[in-house]
Each structure stands twice: as C-alpha cells, then as structure tokens.
A and B are shown apart, each in its own frame.
Chain A
Amino acid sequence: MNRILKSRLLWPLVALAALLLACTVRRPDILGITVLDGHLFGAPIDILRNSAPLLLVALGMTLVIATRGIDLSVGATVAIAGAVAMTFIASSPDPGSVGTAVGAVVVALGLCLVLGLWNGFLVSSLGIQPIIATLILMTAGRGVAMLITGGQITTVNSAPFAQLASGFWLGLPVAALIAYGVYGVVALLVRRTALGMLLESVGINPKASRLAGVKARTLTWTVYALSGLFAGLAGLIFASNTMAADANNAGLFIELDAILAVVIGGTALSGGKFNLGGTLVGVLVITTLTLTVTVLGVSPLVTPLFKAIVVVAVTLLQSPRLRATLAGLGRTRPQEVRA
C-alpha cells in the first residue's frame, strides 16, 4: 500500500480513473465492450486505437528526453510520412494492391528513419542544442510534406493500407496492436539489454559517462533515429485513418502532447531516469481527456484549455524553485549566491 502511495504514477492514475468515472456518470454504459462481427467495440477499445499514434510518438520522445534532449520535429515527421505514403500509392499503377501498400510503408518509414538520423547528427556530432536542432525539421518538415503532395490534400483508395487504422485482427484494432506491440518490444529491450541504464547514465551525468567509456554519441544518435521511425509509423496510422495526406494538419502539435505525456508519466525534462510505464499512463490520460470532453458535451474548443491546465500544474510541481519555496515557506529566506 505504501509503495502504491509513494509511486510517482499515483496521481496520473487517479486522474485517469477520474476521467473515466466522469464519463460513466454521464453515460453509465460507456465502458462496456460489445462484440460485433467478431470485432470488439466500445469506448475502451476506441481509447486504445486513438492512443496509438500518440503512444508511438511519446515512446520515442521518452528515450530522447532521457538523454537530456527533446525532439520537436515529430509532428512534421508525421506529416511527411503520410505525404510520402499517400503520394506513393497515388502515383503507383495499382493503388489497391497489397504490394503498393507495403511499398508505401517501407518508403515512408525509410525516409523517417533518415530524418531521425539527421536530427541525431545535428545533436550528437555537431553538438547543436536539441531544441534548436529539431526545430529546424519542425519548421522545414511541413514544407517538405507540402512539396511532396504538391500543396494538395492527396486522397487515395487502398484497401490494404486502410487496414492500418481501421482494420481488426484477433478482434482488436490493428493500429492499437501495432503501437502497443512496438511499445512492448521497446519496453522489453531497454530493460533487458543495457540500453536503459546507459541512456540514463548519459542523461544524468554526461561527463561521468564519458569518463566511464559510454558511447554517448552513438546512443544519442540511436534515440533520435528511433524517434523519427516511430513518428513515421504514427504518421502512417494517421494517414490510413483518413486515407488522405494533409501536410498542414497531420500530427499538428503532437510533439506537445507527446512531451506532455512523458512529463505526466514522471520522466523529468532534465533527463536521466525515464519511465516508459509512466509514458503509457500519460498517453492514456491525454487520449481519455479528449473522450471525456466529448462525452460530457463540452465544446471541443475547451479541450486545449484542459490540457493547458494540466501542463501548468505538472510543470509547476516539477519546478525546483516552487518546491523549494513551498518547502521553505516560513523558514529561512533562500540565500542568493552570485559567482
């Protein structure tokens, strides 16, 4: 019991439960799951499916943040992935074939991996601050996507590609299976290999890690590449959902949601210790938030406000100065030390 109370995930989990509770108060049957044509349907399944792209992006973001970095370019990468896939399918002689769909996925993911490697190069080899390095692709990326789609919203018909977002397998949505599958593999990988420990070591104390012989540069490069790859996968799911490439709006502000999910999950933006379980909870909170707002009949226009309140609360609680001020209230005035 004590361990549960001390867990950093306590409050995010409470928030998640509260959001779901608010939904059931309004519509008591909302958490029910029905079976239709061998597929599962219901709000919980919707949450799983809708959370898929954000989970993928937040997964990459967690690893990047662990190394003291940040990846602002994931939203643009999402748009590029969609643009590439849609354009590939549209320009192929046989848009409806499985081969075309697979080709689109491979080409899109390959390009996104290159974009991630580019970010990694800027950060680890050129030593550019992560926020600046990824800002380049964040702003330029949507332009690249526009270039690919020729400024149009490209729409295609490809039944195999549509399966990514709307298909079901073993009764579950394919999008959710992909995202949670990748999440599971990565979660296993970081703790079963030494990746997690070495990433944390670099994030906590880069100088000590260097002296200990940790290959910080390779590790940094790897996490940015993974972040690009996962964002590309998220972009494919987005594109498959609408079967259209919208260079301007696909994945808009998803980088902020991803960062928020990471922070809610208890991984500090200052790097070091990271918590993939926490990131999952953060993603579910954010996805459920959208559902709750809809169920409660609140205008979707207010959703950003709710998110903003959560962001402010979390950042305030993380701020060392606020904590010190709260802890030190009534005690000695913090001494100002100037060099």
Chain B
Amino acid sequence: MTAATPETRTAAAPPARPGPHPEPVVSMTGITVEFPGVKALDGVDFRLFPGEVHALMGENGAGKSTLIKALTGVNPVAAGSIVVAGAETRFTGPADARERGISTVYQEVNLCGNLTVAENIMLGSEQRRLGGLDWRSMRREAARHLERMGLSIDPSSSLDSHSLAIQQLVAISRAMVVEAQVLILDEPTSSLDAGEVEQLFAVMRRLRDEGVAILFVSHFLDQIYAISDRITVLRNGRLVEERATADLPQRELVSLMIAGKSGADVSEARPRGERAARDPEAGPLLRAIGLGRKGSVEPFDLELYPGEVVGMAGLLGSGRTELARLLSGADRADAGAIEFAGETTRLRTPRAALAHKIAYTSEDRKGEGVVGDLTVRENIVLGLQAARGWMRPLPRANVDRIVAEYIKALGIRPANPEALLRNLSGGNQQKVLLARWLATAPRLLLLDEPTRGIDIGAKTEIMNLVSELASQGMSVVFISAELEEVVRLSDRIAVMRDRRKVAEIDGGEDVGVPQLIDLIASGGQNQ
C-alpha cells in the first residue's frame, strides 16, 4: 500500500462528473521539462475535463508549479504534447494562454490595490470609444462579472478597502473576463480563513457548474476533499496517480504523496538506551499553552523536556514550521502563553528567545540562515556576537578556538574559516548554521528541515549529531518532511494537519511511517 509505481496507475478513469463534453479540454501527454542538471518533470500525463475541479497534489519539488508553468508556456517543454480543445498547442506565455482561454490566479493577489475593483477586473481588456476609454461600459461589464461570482460589491470602490478573500475573488473575476474555459488556482486559500474559503468554494462550484475546468492547488487535505472531483498526484517530477476523489481515501493520498521518499541512511534508530528517561519529577523545559497565531497555526499545547527529541510530522503547509516560529520568537503569537523553565515568558523577538537559550534554524536556509558574503568564521560567531552587542567583540583567540572546534566536530568542508559561506555546499552551510546555534549553548534547539536539500552523508551526520545533543540534555524539536527521519530520531512525535496539532504519540520501535501517515490522513481522529 505504499509506493504506487507508474505501471499500477489507474487507467483512463472517466471524469467523476460526466459533463456535456466527455473530451478533455486540456490533455498533456509525456510532458518533460528540464532545467540545467535536473529533470523537473519526467513524462507526465495530465488531463483536465470541462466542469470539474481537479486537484493537483504533491510535496515540495514534486513538480506542481512546473506543470502549471509548462501548460501556460512559462517553462519550455522538452518533450511531450499539449492539446487544448482538440488542437496541439504551445503557448508563448501566460498572456497568450489567457487569450486562448486558460487563466491563472496566483497565490499572492497580483492586483493593484490603489485602483478600483472595476479597473482591476478590466485591466488589459479595456473598452475604447472615440480614442478614449469607455468608463461607463467598463463599469457595467465589471459589474456583470462580479455578479457572475455572486459578489455584491461596488465596482467603483477601491480594491484596498476589501478583505483578502474578496480581493482573491476579484482576481478570479478578472481571470474570467476572457471567458476562460480553464481556470488555474495556485494555492488560492493559503491566506484565507474558514469562512472566506467557503465563499471561494461557492464561486468555484458555480463556475464548475457552468462548465469551466478548474485546476486547484492546495496543501489543505480537507479542502481538497471538500471541493475536488479528481486528483492527480505528482512525486519527484513523475505522475503517480490520477483518480476520482471519491475513490481515493485520504490515507492512500498521503502515502502516494510521500511514500518512497528516501530518508537518511541512518544505520539504525536511536538506540533506546540513549534516550533519556524523562525524570517524572522535573517539569518541562518549555510549555506552550494554547499558543497560536491567526492565519498561521491554531492554538496548541506542547511540552518539551530536556534530553528529548520531539519530532513534527505533517505535510507541507500543515503548520509545523509556523509552530516552531512561534516557539522561537520569529513570529509573534497572538494567543496563549509560553512557560520556559517554569516561568511565564513572552517571546516577542528571536533575540528574546535567544536570551532564554532557544535557538531556531529556519527551513529557508538561504533566505533566513546563510549570510553568504561573510566567512565561515563570521557566520559561526554571529549568534554569539549578536548577543554580546557590537561594543564587546569576542576576543580573537576565543573566536578562533570556537570556530576550529566546530569545524572539526561537525566536519565542515572546506575546513577553512576564511572561506565565504556562499561558496560551501548546502550540507556544509547547514553545518555552519548548526555551529552558529550550538556555539550559543542553547537549551532548546528548534531544527526546521535541517536535512532538506543536502546529501545523504551530511544528513546522517546531522541526525547523529541531533541524537548526541539530546543525550547530553538538550531539548530538540526536529521538523522534517521525511517521516522516516522523524520516526528514527524522535522520542515523541507531534502530528500536524491543516495548521492544527492533531495528535501526539510516543516514539519508539513500534512506531512506523505507516502509523504517522494514518494519523496525518485521519487528522488524529482514530486515536
């Protein structure tokens, strides 16, 4: 029940919702997209029928965006054919695709907030009269499109004055001005709350019933099951499954998305003996009580003990990163409280968290970790030095000793403290960042995807290091998309889904990846 190979793929299933047009409006066959050194898509087939909502699923790097971009002509296609409305087609870009009835609405609202709703909708489809713009008929036209969406807002109001959800719907209205046959919605719900999502879904159902084919990308499993008729699953640039939503149980979907991912080659699970027996007398190092942030992660409770690795399991966008950011002061919580070492505290900034010896490595290594133009030495001491302030520089001898120590202990290559960090490989950059935090002697270490995008050898080293740190008494939170890694390292595992913490289980030999998949798919309801 794990890796479905392409051979076992369900053969040409009929559209779940038989419409008046049994022919697919978009049919992509054998699509291959290559970037220098990488095959982003490898022989992917994809069909989109009129009058259906088709969910495109996959983890980070599975190829969802690439497939959309291949369709709309942003990415050049190396091999394969694209048939739109019965004719072989290659679009030159999104504008070309839009003119031919394929409109895309992106995650961020790409509209002009300072223009009116009507202007935003009609931008690019202006109506002219006597050399000027015919404002009256444009407003009328815009009002007609808004009505089609079931939106009763004033077309001459400024777009800024509306909520994000309304703006999203205006973006869709704009996409539908060209009478699009195909509407691509790339994560339209990521910044909407539950009520707003329902509003969006109502519009999507209305358009679907009019015969529009909707390609829907979202990380929220509940939403996928609420709205989609069919699901295509991609993994590592390949098609794994295409099936009617009703015939694809959640558990199977999750396992299709993540199964077969290679975890680090850790020879064995963390030996049981090394796992610190939790002292029942001692309180937790950190206790989060109803901690949450609107639009980021629902309030959760969590206790972290010294000497313990707590794993976070969940799909991309499930809230695992957001949870760690709240604990590290990177984001500010707007609900709940944190107790650290028995005392209630507020972590308003990363600096405040660092003062409590809480260190956090971001999943966005390049954007939020690496200071590329500084040397390895400077990057390692950055955290320590920042805590001391600029007026009290660390003595050079201390710096050299600390740096040499960590370069040796973590096996950083090249072992040159003067090398610029941006010239190191991903794995070595990650080790330098680990060194930066370890040098501050943290009591709680939050590791967000520390093993992403680095080679197997470095993965193993980092995981062994985490294990060792915990046995020395550090409290560690370990987040990884690779469930095998989570299972192998964790003493306890918190399961996240749709921005909620849905379950918490003890780790150990009897816990495996399938059990976690069950929990993620069921939302912890079987427990």
Binding site for B on A (CB under 8 A): 192-195, 197-198, 200-201, 204-205, 207-215, 219, 272-273, 335, 337-339
Q: Please, how many angstroms separate the alpha-carbon atoms of A219 and B372 in the complex?
A: 20
* B378 in the interface (beta carbon within 8 A): yes
Interface residues of B in 350-391 (CB under 8 A from A): 350-351, 354, 360, 362, 367-374, 378, 382-383, 385-391
* A337 cross-chain contacts in B, Cβ below 8 A: 74
Q: Please, how many angstroms separate the alpha-carbon atoms of A293 and B330 in the complex?
A: 55
* B350 cross-chain contacts in A, Cβ below 8 A: 210-213
Once A194-B388, A211-B350 are accepted as A-B contacts, the answer to whether A272 and B383 lie under 8 Å apart by CB is no
Partner of B389, one of A211, A215, A335: A215
Q: Please, how many angstroms separate the alpha-carbon atoms of A338 and B96 in the complex?
A: 13
Q: Please, how many angstroms separate the alpha-carbon atoms of A273 and B375 in the complex?
A: 11
Nearest CB in chain B to that of A219: its residue: B390
Partner of A201, one of B74, B351, B367, B382: B382
Q: Please, how many angstroms separate the alpha-carbon atoms of A192 and B392 in the complex?
A: 10
Nearest CB in chain B to that of A273: its residue: B373
Partner of A193, one of B360, B387, B391: B391
* B378 cross-chain contacts in A, Cβ below 8 A: 197, 201
Nearest CB in chain A to that of B389: its residue: A215
| Between-chain CB contacts (< 8 Å), 10 pairs | A195-B390, A197-B374, A197-B378, A198-B390, A207-B368, A212-B386, A213-B351, A214-B386, A215-B389, A335-B76
* B341 in the interface (beta carbon within 8 A): no
Once A194-B388, A197-B385, A214-B386 are accepted as A-B contacts, the answer to whether A204 and B393 lie under 8 Å apart by CB is no
Nearest CB in chain B to that of A200: its residue: B374
Nearest CB in chain A to that of B377: its residue: A197
Interface residues of B in 70-110 (CB under 8 A from A): 74, 76, 93-94, 106
| A211 adjacent to B393 (CB under 8 Å) | no
Interface residues of B in 279-311 (CB under 8 A from A): none
Partner of A338, one of B94, B373, B383: B94
* B436 in the interface (beta carbon within 8 A): yes
* A335 cross-chain contacts in B, Cβ below 8 A: 76
**What's the tally of chain B residues with a CB closer than 8 Å to chain A?**
35
Q: Please, how many angstroms separate the alpha-carbon atoms of A193 and B76 in the complex?
A: 51
Once A212-B386, A338-B74 are accepted as A-B contacts, the answer to whether A204 and B362 lie under 8 Å apart by CB is no
| B374 adjacent to A193 (CB under 8 Å) | no
Once A213-B351, A213-B354, A213-B387 are accepted as A-B contacts, the answer to whether A201 and B374 lie under 8 Å apart by CB is yes
* A213 cross-chain contacts in B, Cβ below 8 A: 350-351, 354, 383, 386-387
| A212 adjacent to B390 (CB under 8 Å) | no
Most buried by A among B328, B360, B382, B386: B386
| A198 adjacent to B94 (CB under 8 Å) | no
Q: Please, how many angstroms separate the alpha-carbon atoms of A335 and B388 in the complex?
A: 45
Once A194-B394, A195-B390, A198-B385 are accepted as A-B contacts, the answer to whether A209 and B371 lie under 8 Å apart by CB is yes
Most buried by B among A193, A205, A208: A208
Q: Please, how many angstroms separate the alpha-carbon atoms of A214 and B350 in the complex?
A: 9
Q: Please, how many angstroms separate the alpha-carbon atoms of A210 and B325 in the complex?
A: 13
Once A214-B382, A215-B351 are accepted as A-B contacts, the answer to whether A208 and B370 lie under 8 Å apart by CB is yes
Once A194-B393, A207-B367, A338-B94 are accepted as A-B contacts, the answer to whether A212 and B374 lie under 8 Å apart by CB is no
| Nearest chain A CB to B351 CB, angstrom units | 4
| Nearest chain A CB to B419 CB, angstrom units | 15
| Nearest chain A CB to B304 CB, angstrom units | 19
* B367 cross-chain contacts in A, Cβ below 8 A: 205, 207-208
| Nearest chain A CB to B222 CB, angstrom units | 27
| B368 adjacent to A208 (CB under 8 Å) | yes
Nearest CB in chain A to that of B352: its residue: A213
With contacts A194-B392, A194-B394, A213-B386 known, what are 6 further pairs, Cβ within 8 A? A194-B393, A205-B367, A205-B370, A209-B371, A211-B328, A212-B436
| Nearest chain A CB to B415 CB, angstrom units | 21
* B330 cross-chain contacts in A, Cβ below 8 A: 210-211
| A338 adjacent to B360 (CB under 8 Å) | no
Q: Please, how many angstroms separate the alpha-carbon atoms of A194 and B398 in the complex?
A: 14
| Nearest chain B CB to A278 CB, angstrom units | 15
| Nearest chain B CB to A34 CB, angstrom units | 44
Q: Which 5 A-B pairs have the closest CB atoms?
A: A214-B386, A213-B386, A213-B354, A195-B390, A213-B351
* B389 cross-chain contacts in A, Cβ below 8 A: 194, 215
* B391 cross-chain contacts in A, Cβ below 8 A: 193-195
Interface residues of B in 317-332 (CB under 8 A from A): 328, 330
| Nearest chain A CB to B249 CB, angstrom units | 34
* A192 cross-chain contacts in B, Cβ below 8 A: 393
* A197 cross-chain contacts in B, Cβ below 8 A: 374, 378, 382, 385
| Nearest chain B CB to A198 CB, angstrom units | 5
